Amino acid sequence: MEEHGGRRWPLVVLASSPFHGHMTPTLQLAKALHAHGFSIAIAHSNLNPPNPSNHPSFTFLPLSDNLSTIDDSGSFSNFIQTLNKNCKPSFQEHLTRLIGEQNGGNKSIVVIYDHLMFFAGIVAVDLNLAAIVFRSCSAAYFPAYLVRQQLHQESRFLEQDYVMQEMVPNHHPLRYKDLPFSKSPVEDMQQLVAIMSQSIRPSTVIWNTIKVLEHEALTQIQKHYQVPVFAVGPLHKIAPTNPPTNFLEEDTSCIAWLDKQAPKSVIYISFGSLMRLDKKVLTEMACGIAKSNQRFIWVVRPGSVCDSEWTEFLPEGFIEETRERGLIVKWAPQKEVLAHFAVGGFWSHCGWNSTLESISEGIPMICQPFNIDQMVNARYVSYVWKIGFELEGLESGEMEIMIRRVMVDEEGEEMRVRAIGMKEMVKEAVQNGGCSYDSLEELVGFISSC
């Protein structure tokens, strides 16, 4: 490996998708690689771009996407197709220029791309560069996705099946209802599968997970791809610093509020960066929270509730009734909140970043999954790892009971003990000699040899 201006070759170009839950771990991976001496360039769509001033040591490569919004009311497959089609030409131009600049092409460039940005893999291979795919979902999601795809091909899975409680034969612990994309129309799912099948076979795979946590799924992934798979998660613990993102401004006042609360007395409630929910569900939540009589921090993103700009959906009297024991914020410093001594539970949609962040801090969960990989994650949290309860109904009564089960009841305490055990497992994994630490070292060796 050559040194150049104090940094190593190859240059690592990371192509990130515009989703916040993908951008964050991509930047964390970039930080980790940068700390190992690589030069870093981030290729990103103009939609939801990162803020270069937050990352002065990286180069940024904007891609012309001609997209103005992530339209969650439309078809997800159309969005992904347009994103890939539109970003491809400018990515190709950037790479061609960079190759020209690398001392007449003698020095190598390695492309790591978010799997949703599969055009980047195609361009890299066309230009004879190593292409590494990066997955920011759970490893368990991958076999579940393959099962769902297979059921479609065999026309054995109909949309109305999504409520099915039965176990999928030979795919323990999954029930039909845990399979990905449950609530998307079948046609959109089929189209997405067709679009994703354009992806090339990568030269290696990076996964934001932990080998000891998802060993079985990682083995299946390795068998499927037949290339090295590096489990380097959780990246927010592996990265030397957590790069700020440019999504919403964090309301840090909640930390000062938490400082005044008793240990493990507060439930943190957040459904991530994308979910848009029905007003009725949110009203039930508010009633459940009020009736539980527990302390809480509730993240309500502006615009995340249909027909409500922010908190207009709240039932009358909610604010007055809970003023002494609760906070509603637009966006929280989630990792800091989960690491705070006062937080004793996390009511989550089970996005993978949130799940990893919760596991890393030993916080038991209430799982309320909605789509894509969230059902699989929730199934593992509640049924396999037994560090959370899955909310089955959306009535305030059940929500109230769930909050009390996690925060007050003995079974919540037992879950907390298991969750703290997992926190220790994460700590070990990211330490020198731990599985994720070692995986990152191997990945660094692999990239250096490209």
Given the rule CB under 6 A, which residues bind ligand UDP?
19-21, 24, 270, 272-274, 299, 331-332, 334-335, 351-354, 357
Nearer to ligand UDP, 91 or 298 (CB): 298
Nearer to ligand UDP, 332 or 401 (CB): 332
Question: Which secondary-structure segment (H or E) carries 71?
Answer: none
Distance CA 311, CA 286 (A): 10
Among the listed residues 17, 270, 253, the one whose alpha carbon sits nearest the alpha carbon of residue 133: 17
Distance CA 280, CA 278 (A): 5
| Residue 183 tokens, joined | 């609530």
Cβ at position 92, least distance to ligand UDP in Å: 28
Among the listed residues 185, 234, 186, the one whose alpha carbon sits nearest the alpha carbon of residue 207: 234
User: Is the CB of residue 42 less than 8 Å from the CB of residue 112?
Assistant: no
Nearer to ligand UDP, 249 or 320 (CB): 249
Cβ at position 21, least distance to ligand UDP in Å: 2
Nearer to ligand UDP, 263 or 302 (CB): 302
Nearer to ligand UDP, 123 or 372 (CB): 372
Cβ at position 24, least distance to ligand UDP in Å: 5
Cβ at position 348, least distance to ligand UDP in Å: 7
Write down the residue that tokens 């800091």 correspond to: 336
Cβ at position 289, least distance to ligand UDP in Å: 16
Strands (E), 194-308: 204-207, 229-231, 266-270, 295-299
Nearer to ligand UDP, 132 or 299 (CB): 299
Cβ at position 11, least distance to ligand UDP in Å: 27
Q: Which long-range contacts (CB under 8 A, 24 or more apart) does 407-414 make?
A: 407/264, 407/265, 407/267, 407/292, 407/294, 407/344, 407/345, 408/294, 412/345, 412/364
Burial 422-444 (b: 16+ CB within 10 A, else e): bbebbeebbeeebbbbbbbeebb
Cβ at position 245, least distance to ligand UDP in Å: 8
Nearer to ligand UDP, 24 or 108 (CB): 24
Q: How many CB atoms lie within 10 A of CB 141?
A: 23
The SS3 of residue 5 is coil
Cβ at position 299, least distance to ligand UDP in Å: 4
Nearer to ligand UDP, 11 or 139 (CB): 139
- Which residues lie across from 343 on neighbouring strands? 266
- The one-letter code for the residue type at 329 is V
